[in-house]
Structure 1
Amino acid sequence: MKVLVTGASGNVGRYVAHELLQMGEQVVAAGTDIEKLHDLFEDEAEQVILDFTDSMTYKKALHDVDRVFLMRPPHLGKPKDLFPFIDAMKQNHIRFVSFLSLMGVEKNSLPPHHKIEKYIESAGIPYGHIRPGFFMQNISGVHAAEIKERNQIFIPAGRSKTSFIDAEDIGLAVATILHEPDKYQNTAYTITGPEALDYYQIADILTKVTGRRIIYTKPGFLRYRNYYVKKRDLHKAYVNVTVALYFMTRLGTAKEVTIDFIKLTGKQPRSFEAFARKHINCFI
């Protein structure tokens, strides 16, 4: 049977799909942009349109599938947006689902990931939640514009520390449990990078790697939200979720360093400095 990878053209999904293919699995790469999926996977994986807001796309996506990597698209801020698809997974007798959750959500009901985890569990679908720390790709992605254009990190995390993890490492961890679902039934793993850093330290690392002086401006929540909604023109629901996550970060929920990634994969997670050097073009 096949493995459905939702968000297969995104930061994590593409790595999940790649690792599964390396393990010899048949992969169905799902997303809303079929051309982008074809460019990424060509003949390596089947490609299918999947829109969580359109139940008409569910049947084809779940055809001949017994395992699913499920991730919440950033623009869908409400947990109930994913509930119909979870119901469809149950109706299609999905054997195992790995949900891309968030570090610390088992103790915090504020982010949408908490309710999604609970809904999967209540549906009775065997699961393996992966709860990563903040993606390093958030810095090289959505937050890279200010770094490149203004030499600034514009993130409302205060002086809190975060155990950043590379999305490539997340992809390997997810693929590992999807490849052996019986071994990981009804489990949850919190995976992090090798160290917890504050954004002043991130700025110092980027200064070292780029050769430019990068500073952390430590904006407040309102200033950050107004800037990303009005200046960057990002979707309000997405920005609101990030505000909630950075609020959690300030409470110290993102600083834990775990060895779960090592236990799952037998490998060491990538450091932020190694990540920044590998993805230097994102910052210059």
Structure 2
Amino acid sequence: MMKILVTGASGNVGHFVIEELLNMGEHVVAAGTNVNKLKGRFKGKVDTVYFDITNQSTYDVALKDVDRVFLMRPPHLGKPEDLYPFIDAMKVRDIKLVSFLSLMGVENNPIPPHHKIEKYIEASGLPYAHIRPGFFMQNLSGIHSAEIREKNQVFVPAGKSKTSFIDAADIGLATAILLHHPDQYRNTSHTITGFEALDYNQIAAILSKVTGRQITYAKPGYWKYRKYYIKKRGLEKGYVNVTVALYFMTRMGTAKKVTEDFLKLSGRNPRTFEEFARENIRCFLNKETI
């Protein structure tokens, strides 16, 4: 029985891809640089393998008996060329489908590295199914949850723009469906969004409703946001700069598109932000309300 390799297996999307593939009866290989973490998370339900996309000596073991691959760009690798050797390694094997986690709108935007990676996969002749999600709801329950908990503020420099947020769990399901049916979805692209576009005042109103606290949208400018996240939050400058660039693009209207791709793939509607906030309410509660 051939296997599906899932890179970035401990990431926001990767572990959801794995859970859904297991539900479909697939044999999965979870790949990453921390094998003990993967073993602890999946508890013997998957094979685990040490894999470092920048180390070509790890490719052969990772691709053994594999005929489909979920490919994720490690966030710390900014250059598309970092992924090319692994794509070349897949090319000489009998791979039925590569599903690459890309970005919404990247087909018309050559700036993010995902654009060149998509093009390289296509040019290689590998059968592909690109997944192009909108902004993750997990951005709010993760990186941006600190200000929601501590200051009752949504603190992102997105201006008045709208975003069609999608739950990473829904991205995982959509990806698993593509990998489970490689012939059906060969050489396709799928833009996965929520069913509505919300501005951040609406996000704050939903969080207020769910938590019972008055949460507001702070609407900081780029410099205020950047300074706060680097100086006060202590986050890496490079990472913060990438988020600033993404919010700049969001203000240009790149994040508001709503598609039915998830419904077409899965037969159901994507999770709403209110449903997500209720399910993940602990991420948004402050010390007084826990």
Query: What interval of TM-score do these two structures reach, taking the shorter chain for normalisation?
Result: over 0.9
Structure 2 CA distance for aligned equivalents of residues 147 and 52 of structure 1: 35
Structure 1 CA distance for aligned equivalents of residues 90 and 238 of structure 2: 25
| 1:94 positional shift | 2.1
Q: Read off the aligned partner of 2:181 and give its amino acid letter.
A: E
TM-score by length of 1: 0.96
Q: Read off the aligned partner of 2:182 and give its amino acid letter.
A: P
Q: Secondary structure at the match of 1:4?
A: strand
Percent of counterpart pairs with the same letter? 69
Q: Tell whether the 8 Å contact from 1:17 to 1:27 is kept in structure 2 after alignment.
A: yes
Q: Read off the aligned partner of 2:50 and give its amino acid letter.
A: I
Structure 2 CA distance for aligned equivalents of residues 163 and 155 of structure 1: 15
| 1:240 positional shift | 2.5
Q: Secondary structure at the match of 1:69?
A: strand
| 1:227 positional shift | 2.5
Q: List aligned pairs for 1:168-247, cutoff 5 A.
A: 168-247=169-248
Residues 40 and 106 from structure 1, CA distance in 2 versus in 1: closer, same or farther, beyond 3 angstroms? Answer: same
Instruction: String of CA shifts for 1:222-268, please: whole Å, max 9, x gaps.
Output: 22223223332323332222222211111111111111100001011
Partner of 1:110: 111
Instruction: String of CA shifts for 1:148-206, please: whole Å, max 9, x gaps.
Output: 12211111111100000000000000000100010001100111111100111101111
| 1:271 positional shift | 0.2
| 1:43 positional shift | 1.0
Q: Tell whether the 8 Å contact from 2:96 to 2:183 is kept in structure 1 after alignment.
A: no
Q: Read off the aligned partner of 2:263 and give its amino acid letter.
A: I
Q: Secondary structure at the match of 1:188?
A: strand
Unaligned runs of 5+ in 2: 286-290
Structure 2 CA distance for aligned equivalents of residues 93 and 200 of structure 1: 49
Q: List aligned pairs for 1:6-17, cutoff 5 A.
A: 6-17=7-18
Unaligned runs of 5+ in 1: none
Q: Tell whether the 8 Å contact from 1:76 to 1:238 is kept in structure 2 after alignment.
A: no
Q: List aligned pairs for 1:27-176, cutoff 5 A.
A: 27-176=28-177
Structure 2 CA distance for aligned equivalents of residues 244 and 111 of structure 1: 10
Structure 2 CA distance for aligned equivalents of residues 9 and 145 of structure 1: 22
More displaced 10-residue stretch of structure 1: 239-248 or 18-27: 239-248
Q: Read off the aligned partner of 1:64 and give its amino acid letter.
A: D
Q: Tell whether the 8 Å contact from 1:75 to 1:235 is kept in structure 2 after alignment.
A: no
Structure 2 CA distance for aligned equivalents of residues 184 and 144 of structure 1: 36
| 1:32 positional shift | 1.6
Q: Secondary structure at the match of 2:29?
A: strand
Structure 2 CA distance for aligned equivalents of residues 110 and 230 of structure 1: 27
Structure 2 CA distance for aligned equivalents of residues 283 and 149 of structure 1: 9
Partner of 2:288: none
Partner of 2:26: 25
Deviation >6 Å, runs of 4+: none
Instruction: String of CA shifts for 1:82-127, please: whole Å, max 9, x gaps.
Output: 2222122213332210011111111111111111111111111110
Structure 2 CA distance for aligned equivalents of residues 35 and 49 of structure 1: 10
Instruction: String of CA shifts for 1:31-90, please: whole Å, max 9, x gaps.
Output: 121122111111100011212222222221111111000111222222222222212221
| 1:210 positional shift | 0.7
TM-score by length of 2: 0.95
Q: Tell whether the 8 Å contact from 2:31 to 2:49 is kept in structure 1 after alignment.
A: yes
The RMSD of aligned alpha carbons is 1.2
Q: Read off the aligned partner of 1:71 and give its amino acid letter.
A: M
More displaced 10-residue stretch of structure 1: 47-56 or 128-137: 47-56
Aligned length: 284
Q: Tell whether the 8 Å contact from 1:111 to 1:245 is kept in structure 2 after alignment.
A: no
Structure 1 CA distance for aligned equivalents of residues 86 and 170 of structure 2: 26
